[in-house]
Structure formats: C-alpha cells, structure tokens
Amino acid sequence: MRSQSFPLEESQSKGSQAGRSQPLNEHDARIESQNKQLRKQLADYETAYSSSQKKLAELKAHRAQLHKRLEEATATIFRLRPQRQEHTESEVQKYFHRLSGSIKNWIEKNCDGFLEDNDHGFETMLNCSINGNSGMGSILKRFQWKAQDLTDVKEHVLAAILMRYLFDEILNRPLSILLKEEEEGLLNGIYENMATMEPPKGKIFHFSCVGSSANDMPIFRFANEAHLENADTTSSIEKEIVVPAIALAQKIQSASSIWEFKYSEWCDCEPGKPMATMPNFRAIIEDYQCTNLSARGKQLKMATDLATPDQQQSLVYMLDIFPGLYCQRMTPAGFQPRTTVSKPLLIVSFVSGVSQQQTDPSDPKTRMDSETSVPLPNTVQTHRSTDGDRRVMKDGQAPAHNAPHSLDAEDADHRMANSSRRVEGASTRSQSSRHHQEAMNSSGGARGRSQLQPRHPAPKDEGLIGGILKQVGIW
C-alpha cells in the first residue's frame, strides 16, 4: 500500500512547484522592465547634466569677461572723475552766500520797474510759461489769488523762482552733467550697450555750457524776446547767476563729504497758513532763518517775537526763498552727524500786527484766506535800495549785500566797499517801500518819482510774456 501512495504525493509536489514558478517569472519580468526604464532615465539625466555643465562653463567664462569689462569701465570712470578734495564749511558757505546775493542783486538791478509797480501782481507773472517746471510753477500759483494783498512780496517770489530753477537744474543734480531732451534715451542706451561696450549714442551737456543753462532761465526768456540784438542780459545772467551756481555745484560734487541742499518742511504750504497749525512748529522753526515781513524784513527772533501764545497763533508762513545747505563728513570710522552750514531762508509775517488802521470788511485786501480763514497781511515792507544806491557788480561776482546769511569779515568788507560806490548821473528817487511811502504821506510830504521810460519799443502783439516785460521795465 505504501509503495503505491508515494508516486501520487510526488506528482502533487511537482504540480505545486510549477504553479509557484509562473508568478515569479512574471515578477522578474516586471522588475527587469523597470530596470531598463531607470537605466534609460539615468542615461538621459547624465546627458542633461553634461549639457548643463557645458553651459555652466560658458556662463562662467562670459561672467569673467563681463567682470573684466566692468573693472575696465570702473577704472575709466574713476580716472575721468574729478579728484575728491575736502572743503571747509566756511569755504562752501561763502560760495552759497555769493550766489544768494547775486540773485537778489540781479533782480533789484533788472526788475525794479516791475517790483515798484504795485498795480500789477502775480497774475501778470502767471501769464508767462515756465516750461512746465512744477517747482517754479507751484511757487507762482500759490500767490495767484492773493496778488493784490502781496504786491511787495514779488521781489522774494522772483528770488525764490530763480533759486528753485538753480536747485532743480544745477545744484541738486547728482552728476556734473546736464542731460536734456535725450536724457532718457541716453540712459537706456547705456543700459543696452553694457554687454557689448558700444559707446552710448546721445549728447551730454557739461556744466561748463553756461549758455545752455542761461537760455533756460525763466527771466532770461523774458529778456531775450526784448533784447534780440543785445547780449547784455544773457551775459549778465551767465556771469552773475549761472556761473556762481556752477562753481558751487562743482565744488560740492568734487568734495569727499556729502553736501545736501534742502528746503524747509513747509515749502509746499500755501502762503498765509498759520504756523501754529503745523506739527511741532516751535521746535522746527529754530532750524530755519525767518525773515519777518511785519518788521520790515528783520530776522524773526524766537525769544521776543514768539514769546506769547498770541504771537505764536498770529504767525503765518509765506514762502521758502533759499534752501539750506548741510554737510555730512565721511571718516574711516563711518559717517559723522550732519551739520548745518546755512539754514533755509523763509519769509513769515504776523497777522495781528500787519495793519493797525481801520479796514473795510468788504475790501479785498482784508479778505480771509480760503483755506485757513486767516486774513492775509495787507502791507509788507521791503527795503530795496534806490537807483543811486544800486550795488556795482565787480568781476562777475555780485556783492551779497542782501545775502540772507552772515559772511566772514573779509567778504563783508568787500561787499561794503562795493556797496559804497554810487552810480553817477542816476536819477534820485525816494525809497520804494510801502512803509516809507506811508510815512511820507502821513507827514504831508509828497513823494516824487521819475517815471521809468521803456528802453525798447514794445511789439504790436505783446502776448503773455510781453505783458511781463512791459511791467518789468525791459520794454
């Protein structure tokens, strides 16, 4: 019986082994297929890696080439740039005060006819285009609706406009070049040609091109139309305004320290705005030099003029005339604290002490400011010199008798010597300030003033600019 059952068990064992071998073969086949796919992917990755390595080597070579070109360009820039040198605060301050005085002297010398005509205010000035310069335009437009109240402020407004032009176009430029119409195209060309090092296409105007700067001056464009055959106006602007501005800009740009021009924090405020409404004005105003129009142009004294709350409430802001000048020294240890070389010059006024005479509420001169509900000053006194006392220019540098800052003793003596010289043969006139006029009228004295004769015939069509020229006295 046992011999018969053994072959049956053996056959059953062989059948079970054959059944198990079939799934194993299928599993091995799948693994082999997956291995082939992985080997193919690995080969692809190796090919991509080899290609990436080749591209990386090319990029490194290109980067090294660009780095070399950048070093060459940097060396060229530093080779051509002016040599850095240190300047003292008093030295730069002297240049700045000379420029400020030149602006005021030029206006007094060439625009006295317009300044002394109290029948025309800022509407006439607004009729003249200033080529869309937002800085100069905003100065004029702030006085558009207050022209009849602020006729004597025109002198300060003209000075502020000229200084704002110099600030925007020369003093506040980061480089010693003037980029005009092609400025944007030139900068784009430099960017596009950096890789190929091709020379950028465009025209660069250096500061030495004073004629270009003078032609863009607002007052020059007025005078140029009246003096088409006379280059005296062009020469005077170049010599007395543009050249001092360029000299100052080149001096601070070639210095190793950081020099900065900056207007006050209130430069965008409307004239007649109460300063008491401005945050922390009592502490900030000490950092500025304020000309008090209510005190005939004397400097505002904090200890006496702002001693009481009533005085502080009646003080109003009028205009920023000149920016301040600041310096920050650079040392091996780092930056030093910023120092003030010249404070910004502002004009302010007191509402309560402006006019002590009785006024009619319906009089436009006593109307309230539309934004601040504070009456604007009716009378502001300025002390412009008479024709016989005009300062004489010497060597293209106007003595800064009206400079808003104090100068050193040597510079002051030079200005006093020049201011003592008289122009022989000039017709004598009384002072043109309204304060002097009121004093003469109250004492019964009659002021005689010779009428200014136009130096050039006005064209048939005066136009917008012609109206300005006629009032300025150039025509």
**How deeply is 108 buried, as exposed, middle or buried, from its count of CB atoms within 10 A (0-12, 13-18, 19+)?**
buried
Nearest residue to 452 (alpha-carbon basis) of 110, 149, 125, 103? 110
pLDDT exceeds 70 at position 192: no
pTM above 0.85, yes or no: no
pLDDT of residue 143: 67
Give the pLDDT confidence score for residue 392 in this predicted structure.
35
Using alpha carbons, list the distances in angstroms from residue 218 to 120, 131, 304: 19, 9, 39
The model's pLDDT over 347-406, given as tens digits with 9 standing for 90+, comes to: 998 986 433 333 333 444 434 333 333 444 444 444 444 443 433 333 344 434 344 443
CA 157-98-255 angle, to 5 degrees, is: 110
pLDDT at 406: 38
Phi-psi region of 16 (alpha: psi -120 to 50; beta: other; left: phi over 0): alpha
pLDDT tier at 264 (50, 70, 90 boundaries)? very high
Q: Mean pLDDT for the chain?
A: 66
Look at residue 250 in the predicted model and tell me its pLDDT.
Answer: 82
SS3 content of the chain, % helix, strand, coil (to 5): 50, 10, 35
pLDDT-above-90 percentage for the chain? 16
Q: Could you tell me which residue, 390 or 134, shows the higher pLDDT?
A: 134
State residue 280's pLDDT score. Answer: 83
Mean pLDDT of 222-251: 70
CA atoms within 13 A on the CB side of 443: 9
